[in-house]
């Protein structure tokens, strides 16, 4: 009662407070998000559309775009499979070392991306643990596409699993057991019961994973070697162009990345509204 009364008065005092809070929020958003975003696009388009088009259509840029899409596609798929396996194992079974596993899944979040990249250099680089063997067998990992994929997978590892574990834990084993008593096989249970139950969370995790995979700079920078047209991803390409004072081209490629991020955000918002607004849709 006391708390409610208190809240009521604070709401009554609201208008001023609300304006101040909203004002601060808007100023921050404008300064740190909208201005930079607008700057990216205005700089990219400062010399007209044809220059913009040339900048993103030149061979090194298209190669960077292709590589980014390839790396993203591979690492998101790998993490989709890993995330499903890990969350299923954690949520539906009990085994020793479960909490350790959950902590390990979080590790990439707490490690600096540069270190994530260095781990792979230490393992697979020329002077690394497996370096000699890899060289003898003519397998290239560091300064090649496999290294970039490895580093990206590592950095984006937690997204899908983190999203799914709480959902699956909340749902428990009841639905799966019910399906079993009704005669369903393991695959039927997975595709007809478990997957539909977590599909929105899964999509959400994939989107986040996707956004991070496309934008990853630090870890990829360490293992890529920045070879133009070969091992340059979009974020690395932006940096190279920028360091060469080729601002228009740098911002043109950056604007593409920003666009991809905006599309991801829009999809995410769409997913969320679908989850809460459609009366017929099952809630998560």
Partner 1 sequence: MRIDIHDVYKAFEGGSRALNGINMTIADGELVALLGPSGSGKTTLLRAIAGLENPDHGDILFNGGTVAGHDVRDRKVGFVFQHYALFKTMTVRKNVSFGLSILPRKQRPSKAAIIARADELLHLVQLEGLENRYPSQLSGGQRQRVALARALAIEPSVLLLDEPFGALDAKVRKDLRRWLRELHDRTGHTTVFVTHDQEEALELSDRVAVIHQGRVEHMAPPAELYGQPATPFVCSFLGASNQLEVTVSKDQVLHCGHALPLPRPHSITDGPHQLFIRPHEFQIRSVDDQTPGILCRVETVRLSGALVRIDLRFAACGTAIEVEVPILDFERHPWKVGDAAMVTIRNVRMF
List of residues contacting partner 1 (CB under 8 A): 94, 174-175, 177-185, 188, 192-193, 196-197, 199, 280, 282-283
Q: Cβ 280 to partner 1, closest distance in Å?
A: 6
Q: Cβ 68 to partner 1, closest distance in Å?
A: 34
**Nearer to partner 1 by C-beta: 56 or 184?**
184
Q: Cβ 180 to partner 1, closest distance in Å?
A: 5
**Nearer to partner 1 by C-beta: 46 or 188?**
188
**Nearer to partner 1 by C-beta: 141 or 179?**
179
Are 237 and 60 in contact by the 8 Å Cβ rule? The answer is yes
Q: How far is residue 153 from each of residues 23, 30, 159, 211, measured CA to CA in Å?
A: 40, 33, 10, 13
How many Cα atoms within 13 Å fall on the side-chain side of residue 138?
0
Q: Cβ 277 to partner 1, closest distance in Å?
A: 14
Give the residue from 106, 73, 52 showing the smallest Cα distance to 247: 52
**Nearer to partner 1 by C-beta: 7 or 173?**
173
Are 83 and 161 in contact by the 8 Å Cβ rule? The answer is yes
Are 88 and 168 in contact by the 8 Å Cβ rule? The answer is yes
Are 106 and 100 in contact by the 8 Å Cβ rule? The answer is no
């Amino acid at each position: 009662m006391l708390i409610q009364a208190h809240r009521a008065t604070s709401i009554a005092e609201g208008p001023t407070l609300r304006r101040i809070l909203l004002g601060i929020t808007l100023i921050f958003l404008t300064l740190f998000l909208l201005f930079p975003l607008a700057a990216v696009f205005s700089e990219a388009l400062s010399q007209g559309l044809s220059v913009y088009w040339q900048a993103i259509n030149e061979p090194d840029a298209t190669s960077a775009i292709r590589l980014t899409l390839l790396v993203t596609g591979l690492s998101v798929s790998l993490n989709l499979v890993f995330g499903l396996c890990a969350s299923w194992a954690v949520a539906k079974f009990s085994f020793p070392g479960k909490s350790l596993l959950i902590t390990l899944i979080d590790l990439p979040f707490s490690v600096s991306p540069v270190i994530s990249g260095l781990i792979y250099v230490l393992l697979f680089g020329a002077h690394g643990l497996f370096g000699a063997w890899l060289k003898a067998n003519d397998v290239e990992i560091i300064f090649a596409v496999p290294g970039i994929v490895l580093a990206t997978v590592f950095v984006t590892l937690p997204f899908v699993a983190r999203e799914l574990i709480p959902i699956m834990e909340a749902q428990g084993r009841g639905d799966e057991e019910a399906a079993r008593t009704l005669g369903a096989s393991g695959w039927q249970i997975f595709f007809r019961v478990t997957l539909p139950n977590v599909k929105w969370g899964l999509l959400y995790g994939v989107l986040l994973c996707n956004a991070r995979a496309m934008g990853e700079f630090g870890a990829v920078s360490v293992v890529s070697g920045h070879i133009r047209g070969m091992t340059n991803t979009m974020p690395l390409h932006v940096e190279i162009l920028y360091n060469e004072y080729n601002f228009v081209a740098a911002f043109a490629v950056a604007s593409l990345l920003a666009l991809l991020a905006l599309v991801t955000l829009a999809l995410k918002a769409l997913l969320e509204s679908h989850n809460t607004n459609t009366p017929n849709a099952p809630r998560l």
